[in-house]
Structures are given as C-alpha cells and as structure tokens.
C-alpha cells in the first residue's frame, strides 16, 4: 500500500515563526500536492509538484512556498506564520504525469495552530 507520511499530526506555532511541514511518500510517485482544509471551504490546493525541483502554484499560494529536493519528499513552508494560516494541511501524491483520471493518496494531515 502507498504510504504518505506527514511529520506532525498537531503543531502549535507563534505568529511570525517560520514553519516547515514535511511530507514523504514511499511509492515513487511523480506528483505531490499540498492542500489546506477549512470548515465550509473543503480542500483548497496550495502548491503542487510534478517532478523534483519543480513546483506549480495552486489556488491559494500566497503566504506559502514549497521545496522538492528529492522525489519522495515535498515540504510546505510558511515563511512568517499568521493566525489565518491556522488550518488542517493535507499532503497527497499520485502516480503518473498529471491526468484527470489519477486518484490521490493522502497523508493523515497536520493540524496547525498559529497563536
């Protein structure tokens, strides 16, 4: 089974801190994604990556950056955390070059609270 692992289940940070959310997948997937999940808003795509060192903006990239130095690892970075970034963050991966038929495999999520 595909395993997508997010480094922390719960995280509490202070406003202005630099925050790293780590995601690792073990099935050699090319595509990786970061979503945030908020009540009433569903899942919104922040950034995604189709290959190492490659990144694309999603729907809500402001305030975030990403890093993909190795195929299996995709990091989400909050350069200066703000309270409106308090949310559940979900990492996902999929197998092939992007196509509409591909299903995503998700991690368990990181609930980030910014105080």
Partner 1 sequence: AQKVTQAQTEISVVEKEDVTLDCVYETRDTTYYLFWYKQPPSGELVFLIRRNSFDEQNEISGRYSWNFQKSTSSFNFTITASQVVDSAVYFCALSTYNTDKLIFGTGTRLQVFP
Enumerate binding residues for partner 1 (CB under 8 A).
4, 9, 40-45, 48, 58, 88, 90, 92, 98-101, 103-109
CB proximity list for 3: less than 8 A, separation 6 or greater: 25, 26, 27
CB of 45 to partner 1, least distance (A): 6
Element (H, E) at 57: strand 56-57
CA 60 to the chain's CA centroid = 12
* Rounded alpha-carbon distances, angstroms, from residue 93 to 16, 55, 58, 74: 29, 14, 15, 10
Nearer to partner 1, 66 or 104 (CB): 104
Minimum distance, C-beta of residue 14 to partner 1, in the bound complex (Å): 24
**In the complex, what is the shortest distance from the CB of residue 52 to partner 1, in angstroms, rounded to a whole number?**
19
For partner 1, give the closer residue by CB, 14 or 103: 103
């Amino acid at each position: 089974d595909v395993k997508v692992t997010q480094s922390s289940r719960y995280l509490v940070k202070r406003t202005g801190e630099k925050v790293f959310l780590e995601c690792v997948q073990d099935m050699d997937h090319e595509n990786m994604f970061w979503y945030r999940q908020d009540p009433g808003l569903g899942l919104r795509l922040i950034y995604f990556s189709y290959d190492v060192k490659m990144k694309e903006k999603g729907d809500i990239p402001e305030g975030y950056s990403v890093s993909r130095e190795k195929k299996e690892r995709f990091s989400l970075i909050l350069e200066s955390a703000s309270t409106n970034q308090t949310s559940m963050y979900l990492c996902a991966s999929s197998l092939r070059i992007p196509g509409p038929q591909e299903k995503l495999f998700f991690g368990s999520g990181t609930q980030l609270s910014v105080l």
